[in-house]
Chain A
Amino acid sequence: MKEPSSLPIAKKIPARADEILDYVQYVLHTVEEQVALSLEAKRNIKLILVELVTNSIKHSKDDEASIQVIINHPTLTIQKVDKGLQIQFASNSHQIPFVDVNKTIQVSFSEKKKQHIKVLDRYEFEFVDAFKEGISLEEMPEHFGLYIITLASNRFVYQHDPTSMENRFIVNLNLDE
């Protein structure tokens, strides 16, 4: 069995939105040099990278934020790593560190609209698709980018390390599906 391999992503996450497309194409090319991708996988990887980078441009204050890609066939993992405070939810939501683990709960970022998450640990949760039957215009989650990543992946997890103050958005894709 092959060992997991971490791909070298030499380019920094762009600071401007107009550089996203070139960055995404660069990362995708790096992945394709290592593993053959189906059209569907390629499309989903593009969506995931666009939204991870967009999220970084919008929210990360860390100039050293990075994208890491790990292949452990058949799983492809894309991680966005940055340093800073943990995700802050609205004041009426549960907050990190969570008290109740292994529960699916609703949180909101800043408005009334809810994001569904499954709490995995005090500092870790998984994004959950709560709109399997389709979405109405009123229900659209406010952080739609995170929802897109949830739909385009097999698993999407957020982790915060309170000691190193590191945030990880971990996206897993099964390349055999």
Chain B
Amino acid sequence: MNLSKEKVNNILVLSIEEREANLSKADHFKQLVSEEIDKGERKLIISFKNVEYLDSSFLGALVGILKHLIPLNGQLILTDLNGDIENLFALTRLNKIFNLKQDLKTAMLDL
């Protein structure tokens, strides 16, 4: 699972450097992000700029991360979703639960 990270002020920006966000990567992704939360990160942006599709396993990992962050008063924003991924969030109505933003710039303004 290739995940690049960059700290901008108190915001951790994680970019998924994979074309496919699927079951073979979901557990590792959840573990990597959870480690960052355990280290004290509370404001996270995850960019899907390079991701072509995500499956239910990866969606489950994102839900797990959000569940981890909420009791800690953390914030999570997902950015740069392509049309297919946006459609998945809309279809499952998870767009009402996750904070989705068009790009990094817009996400930064929200944190």
Interface centre among B56, B87, B91 (most CB of A within 10 A): B56
Q: How large is the interface on B (under 10, 10 to 19, 20 to 34, 35 or more residues)?
A: 20 to 34
Binds B, one of A72-80, A89-97, A114-122, A129-137: A129-137
**In the complex, A37 has a CB within 8 A of chain B:** no
Tell me the smallest distance from the CB of A80 to a CB of chain B, in Å: 15
Tell me the smallest distance from the CB of B48 to a CB of chain A, in Å: 15
Interface string of A141-174 (1 = CB under 8 A from B): 0001101100110000000000000000000000
- Is the CB–CB distance between B20 and A144 below 8 Å? no
Interface string of A13-25 (1 = CB under 8 A from B): 0001110110010
**In the complex, A43 has a CB within 8 A of chain B:** yes
**In the complex, B34 has a CB within 8 A of chain A:** no
**In the complex, B96 has a CB within 8 A of chain A:** yes
Tell me the smallest distance from the CB of B52 to a CB of chain A, in Å: 6
13 further A-B pairs in the complex, CB-CB below 8 A; given A17-B25, A145-B56, A145-B57: A17-B22, A17-B55, A21-B52, A43-B83, A43-B87, A46-B84, A54-B23, A135-B94, A137-B70, A137-B97, A140-B63, A148-B88, A148-B92
Which B residues lie within 8 Å of A152 (CB)? 91
**In the complex, B28 has a CB within 8 A of chain A:** no
Which B residues lie within 8 Å of A39 (CB)? 83
Tell me the smallest distance from the CB of A122 to a CB of chain B, in Å: 28
- Is the CB–CB distance between B93 and A135 below 8 Å? yes
For chain B residues 56-111, which have a beta carbon within 8 Å of chain A?
56-57, 59-60, 63, 66-67, 70, 83-84, 87-88, 91-94, 96-97
- Is the CB–CB distance between A134 and B91 below 8 Å? no
